[in-house]
Amino acid sequence: MSTIFITRKIPEEGLKMLEGKYRLKINPADRPVTRQEMLEGVKEAEALLCMLTDRVDRDVIERAANLKVVANMAVGVDNIDLKACTEHGIVVTNTPGVLTEATADLTWALLLAVTRHIVAGDHFVRAGKFNGWAPLLFVGGDLFGKTLGIIGMGRIGQAVARRGLGFGMRIVYTKRERLPLEVEKEFKATYLPLDEVIREADYLTLHLPYSPEVHHLINRKRLEMMKPTAYLINTARGALIDEQALVEHLKEHKIAGAALDVFEKEPKLTPGLIELDNLVLAPHTGSATISTRRIMAEMAAKSIAAVLSGVKPEHVVNPEVLE
């Protein structure tokens, strides 16, 4: 019986697909595995079902003599050393597509929350400070007729754009490869170079995968390019933004606000961040809907079962390993 190391309790539906057929070694604690537990856990395992919070680097891979598949229960795979996996003939899979709509929804929840002061307003009312309607109470930004700037126009970026059309917004985007014209038409989206998107956006939102090439893509210089009335939203990966620069920018009110679901040194927060009042925070919950998390778990389980029975899984991140 093959052993599968599962680094965190996952939705039951995923486990059910594996129980009885494989030996499951599941982290019993309600926290990510420690480095030591990871190194121990992969030693005997033929399969690893891991989370975006697990660092699967070369050391881990070299420790895992029997490993055939790493199934990340996430769409982002920046926590995994893909090169090391490929060199060792290990298939890496992810969970694309299924979390697209949930993540787009959270992006809009954050966008609306920051521009209309939903969190601060809630605290204000609860604190008994609401003494009646006032002309200047919690006034925020408009959406209708404003420009939504999307950096990274893959599945999630497009799902965000579709919602933007419903709010009557103009859509500008940038992407490594420009979209086909018929897709641009569907979203009434205008392609622009990165810096132009940043300059034109009233709401700037990030939807690209993280890699070292895009580390601090939104740096001090690019924050300076933003309109002073603009908002920045990030539901992708924290290190796309220079968080220290963002803290200083928000502190000096050089942009209107920001909303973050992901952090540069997650789960650590850059000092100064939580003191800011023009910022809304979420604990990396982009894909956190009941059905999305269930399907993500099932997809990861299915990928593992496929590899262990010699079948090509559906969502391979390093297809060259199968050539």
Alpha-carbon span 296 to 316, nearest angstrom: 14
Nearer to ligand GLV, 37 or 266 (CB): 266
Q: Least distance to ligand GLV from the beta carbon of 173, Å?
A: 12
Nearer to ligand GLV, 86 or 287 (CB): 287
> Binding to ligand GLV by residue 156, rule CB under 6 A?
yes
Q: Least distance to ligand GLV from the beta carbon of 43, Å?
A: 26
Alpha-carbon span 290 to 295, nearest angstrom: 9
Helix (H) or strand (E) holding 62: helix 58-63
> Binding to ligand GLV by residue 100, rule CB under 6 A?
yes
Alpha-carbon span 262 to 280, nearest angstrom: 11
Q: Least distance to ligand GLV from the beta carbon of 4, Å?
A: 20
Nearer to ligand GLV, 74 or 113 (CB): 74
Q: Which stretch binds ligand GLV (CB under 6 A): 97-105, 128-136, 190-198, 314-322?
A: 97-105
Q: Which stretch binds ligand GLV (CB under 6 A): 8-16, 73-81, 167-175, 246-254?
A: 73-81
Alpha-carbon span 47 to 71, nearest angstrom: 8
Task: Given the residues 155, 199, 237, 249, select the one marked as catalytic.
Answer: 237
Q: Nearest 5°: CA angle at 240, between 108 and 238?
A: 65
Q: Least distance to ligand GLV from the beta carbon of 317, Å?
A: 11
Alpha-carbon span 265 to 55, nearest angstrom: 13
Nearer to ligand GLV, 105 or 248 (CB): 105
> Binding to ligand GLV by residue 97, rule CB under 6 A?
yes
Beta bridge partners of 46: none
Active site residue 62: no
Alpha-carbon span 183 to 209, nearest angstrom: 20
Nearer to ligand GLV, 137 or 183 (CB): 183
The conformation of residue 22, written as its DSSP 8-state character, comes to B
In Å, what is the CA distance from 264 to each residue of 14, 101, 147, 260, 288? Answer: 30, 24, 26, 10, 20
With H, G, I as helix, E, B as strand and everything else as coil, classify residue 85.
helix
Task: Given the residues 155, 284, 293, 315, select the one marked as catalytic.
Answer: 284
Which residues are at the interface with ligand GLV (CB under 6 A)? Answer: 52, 74-76, 96-97, 99-100, 154-156, 286-287
Which active-site residues does the annotation give? 237, 266, 284
